[in-house]
C-alpha cells in the first residue's frame, strides 16, 4: 500500500489534505534550546505540533517491520535496553568507545532516501512523496531538511540511516575478532586481542566519510580506550572484571545513604519518588545489590518504600 493511502486510512484524513499537510510539516515545529549535559554548549530541540506528532507516530507503525535496523543496534528497539548493550562487552578485556558529533541536526534526508532505494526501490517510491510529513524539521537558517530532536520518528530514522555503516563495521569486526554495538550515537568496540582496537578510530572515520560524504562525523574528544586495568563503562553501566554488570561503587554508596535518609524520614515526597526510580534501575542492572540492601535494612522496609 502507498504510504499516503496507509496514513490516510489510519488517521482518517483525506488524501489531498494529507499531502497538503505534508508540504507544510517542516514548519510545524516549536524550536528552542536546552543546555547540553557536561558541556557549555546548547542543544536545539524542534518539538513537532500535536497534529504532526500524531501523524509521526502513525508513520512509525508503517516503518516497524518494513525498514531494517541492524542487529548490532540496541537503541530504540522494543524490549531492548542499555543493559543488553553493555552485556555484549562485559567478557572482553579491551574497550573502545566513540561518539557521533551532533548527529541529529545534520541534514540527512537525502541519505534516508538513498538508504531506502538501496534496500527496496518500491519502498523508496512509496515513501518519497510523503516522507517529509513526519521526519524532518527545517532549520530556519537554511533550506535543508534535518532530523529533528523531539520528533518520535527521528530515533528510528537515524538507526535506519546508519544501517549501511552498522553492517559494514560489523563485517570488519567479525574478521578481526572484535565485538561491535551501537546505542543511539554511542558506539562501542571490545576484544580480547591486544592492540587491535587502536586501528578502529581511523577505520570508523574513513568508513563514515565514504558512506556519508563527511555529513556524519566522530566527536574525537569522546574517543576513549580502556581495559580491565581501568574502570570500564558502557552506556553508563560499569563492567566488572569478574564478568558482571554494575551501577558502580559510588552510585551504590549514594543509594544506600539515601535509603538510610528514607528510614529516618529525612526525604521529601519528590526525593522518595526519585529514589524509587533509581533503585528500580539499580536492581535491574545489578540484582545482587537488592539482596544486600534487604540484608542491611530488611525486606519489609524495602517493600514499604517501593509501594509508597
Q: Could you read off the pLDDT tens digit of each residue along the chain, which spans 308 residues?
A: 567 787 888 888 888 888 888 888 888 888 888 887 766 778 788 889 999 999 888 888 888 777 889 999 999 888 999 999 999 999 999 999 999 987 765 556 667 777 776 666 555 555 665 666 666 666 556 566 777 778 888 888 888 889 999 999 999 999 999 999 999 999 999 999 999 999 999 999 999 999 988 888 999 999 999 999 888 999 999 999 999 999 999 999 999 999 999 999 999 999 999 999 999 999 999 999 999 999 999 999 999 999 98
Give yes or no: residues 231 and 251 share one domain: no
What's the DSSP call for residue 129?
Answer: T
Give residue 166's pLDDT: 96
Q: How many domains does the chain have?
A: 2
Residue 22 lies in a domain: yes
- Say yes or no: 167 and 255 in one domain: no
The pLDDT of residue 115: 75
Residues 125 and 25 reside in one and the same domain: yes
Same domain, 110 and 213: yes
Distance in Å from the first CA to the final CA of the chain: 49
Position 305 scores a pLDDT of 94
| 29-62 per-residue burial string, b: 16 or more CB within 10 A, e: under 16 | beeeeeeeeeeeeeebbbbbeeebbebbebbbeb
Of 206, 237, 268, which residue sits at a domain end?
237
Rounded Cα–Cα distance for residues 104 and 227 (Å): 30
Place of cell 535543508: 144
- Pairwise CA distance, residues 178 & 291, whole Å: 35
CB 146 within 8 A of CB 107: yes
> Which residues have a Cβ under 8 Å from the Cβ of 146 and sit 6 or more positions away?
46, 104, 105, 106, 107, 108, 109, 136, 137, 138, 139
Contact 226, 132 (CB under 8 A): no
Residues in the chain: 308
- Closest by CA to 53, choosing from 133, 112, 122, 139, is 133
Same domain for 287 and 216: no
Contacts of 200 (CB under 8 A, 6+ apart): 96, 98, 178, 189
Which of 212, 237, 262 finishes a domain?
237
Specify if 103 maps to a domain: yes
Q: Which domain holds residue 30?
A: 3-237
Please compute, for residue 217, the number of CA atoms within 13 A of its CA located in the half-sphere on the CB side: 10
242 within some domain: no
Count how many Cα atoms sit within 13 Å of the Cα of residue 292 in the half-sphere of its side chain: 11
* Sequence-separated (6 or more) residues with CB below 8 Å from residue 127: 3, 113, 116
Same domain, 196 and 273: no
194 in the same domain as 99: yes
Does the residue 71 lie in any domain?
yes
SS3 192: coil
Pairing of strands 29-35, 42-48: antiparallel
Q: Which three cell numbers stand for residue 116?
A: 531506502
Residues 108 and 62 in one domain: yes
In angstroms, the CA 286 to CA 244 distance is: 8
The predicted structure's pLDDT at residue 160: 86
Which pTM was predicted? 0.87
Backbone φ and ψ for 137, nearest 5 degrees, come out as -90, 145
Q: Of 178, 204, 237, which marks where a domain is finished?
A: 237
- Same domain? For 232 and 176 the reply is yes
Same domain, 198 and 269: no
| Cβ-contact 181, 74 below 8 angstroms | yes
Both 212 and 265 in a single domain?
Answer: no
My answer on whether 274 and 196 are in the same domain is: no
How far apart, in whole angstroms, are the C-alpha atoms of residue 127 and residue 146? 16
What is the model's pLDDT at position 280? 96
Amino acid at each position: 500500500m502507498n504510504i499516503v493511502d496507509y496514513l490516510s486510512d489510519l488517521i482518517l484524513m483525506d488524501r489531498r489534505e494529507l499531502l497538503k499537510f505534508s508540504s507544510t510539516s517542516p514548519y510545524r515545529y516549536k524550536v528552542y534550546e536546552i543546555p547540553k549535559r557536561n558541556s557549555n554548549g546548547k542543544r536545539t530541540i524542534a518539538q513537532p505540533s500535536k497534529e504532526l506528532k500524531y501523524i509521526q507516530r502513525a508513520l512509525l507503525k508503517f516503518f516497524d517491520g518494513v525498514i531494517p535496523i541492524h542487529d548490532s543496534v540496541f537503541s530504540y528497539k522494543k524490549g531492548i535496553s542499555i543493559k543488553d548493550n553493555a552485556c555484549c562487552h562485559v567478557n572482553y578485556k579491551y574497550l573502545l568507545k566513540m561518539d557521533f558529533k551532533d548527529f541529529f541536526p545534520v541534514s540527512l534526508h537525502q541519505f534516508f532516501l538513498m538508504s531506502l532505494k538501496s534496500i527496496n526501490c518500491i519502498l523508496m517510491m512509496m515513501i518519497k512523496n510523503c516522507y517529509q510529513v513526519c521526519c524532518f524539521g527545517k532549520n530556519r537558517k537554511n533550506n535543508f531538511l534535518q532530523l529533528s530532536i523531539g520528533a518520535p520518528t527521528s530515533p528510528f530514522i537515524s538507526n535506519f540511516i546508519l544501517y549501511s555503516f552498522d553492517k559494514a563495521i560489523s563485517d570488519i569486526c567479525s574478521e578481526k575478532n572484535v565485538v561491535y554495538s551501537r546505542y543511539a550515537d554511542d558506539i562501542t568496540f571490545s576484544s580480547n586481542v591486544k592492540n587491535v582496537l587502536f586501528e578502529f578510530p581511523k577505520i570508523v572515520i574513513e568508513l563514515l566519510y565514504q558512506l556519508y560524504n563527511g555529513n556524519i562525523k566522530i566527536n574525537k574528544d569522546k574517543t576513549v580506550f580502556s581495559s580491565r586495568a581501568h574502570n570500564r563503562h558502557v552506556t553508563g553501566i560499569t563492567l566488572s572484571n569478574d564478568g558482571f554488570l554494575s551501577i558502580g561503587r559510588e552510585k551504590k554508596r549514594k543509594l544506600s545513604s539515601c535509603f538510610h535518609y528514607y528510614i529516618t524520614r529525612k526525604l521529601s515526597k519528590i526525593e522518595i519518588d526519585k529514589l524509587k526510580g533509581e533503585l528500580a534501575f539499580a536492581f535491574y542492572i545489578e540484582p545482587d545489590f537488592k539482596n544486600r540492601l534487604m540484608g542491611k535494612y530488611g525486606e519489609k522496609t524495602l517493600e514499604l518504600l517501593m509501594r509508597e
